[in-house]
Amino acid sequence: MPRSLLILLCDSPFQHESVEQAYEIAQTAFKKGHRVNIFLMMDGVYNPVISQSGAPFNMRSISEKMADLINSGAKITICRVCMELRGVKQEMMPEGLDVGGIYDLSEMIANSDIIISFVGRV
């Protein structure tokens, strides 16, 4: 029976391995037939910004990986307030990304079987 996974991602791309771990966990969950929701807040809103380029380092950018997740069926929601506070605009995001808020996060939490939170370093 498919389960619903929620990943709360607050870390920015290329900061440390948690963003890559979140991506790998989401990919593995898809391969096992589970539903995947990702909520991006705080510095996590930088992850899908399409102007990123991993080309100089011979790697795929996090934004490309986020687009892959969306194309695989992940629902990715980005916090509108966090975007506005950081100057991140909707046109900087890939197609298929939802913009929402804390209400959306609370609904995702209520409807998830498993929640994994990457909230940065303290």
Which range of residues forms the domain containing residue 26? 4-112
Instruction: Identify the CATH number of the domain in which residue 55 sits.
Output: 3.40.1260.10
CA 35 from chain centre, in angstroms, equals: 14
d(CA 44, CA 46): 5
pLDDT at 105 over 80: yes
Output the CA torsion sign for 10, 15, 16, 22.
positive
> Is the pTM of the predicted complex or chain greater than 0.95?
no
| pLDDT the model gives residue 121 | 62
Per-residue pLDDT at 122 exceeds 60: no
Question: Is residue 27 one of the residues assigned to a domain?
Answer: yes
Higher pLDDT, 54 or 25: 25
Domain count, the chain: 1
Domain assignment present for 117: no
Least confident among 10-19, 40-49, 52-61, 103-112: 52-61
Number of Cα atoms under 13 Å in the Cβ half of residue 7: 29
The verdict on residue 119 lying in a domain is no
Q: Residue 47 domain-assigned?
A: yes
57 has pLDDT over 80: no
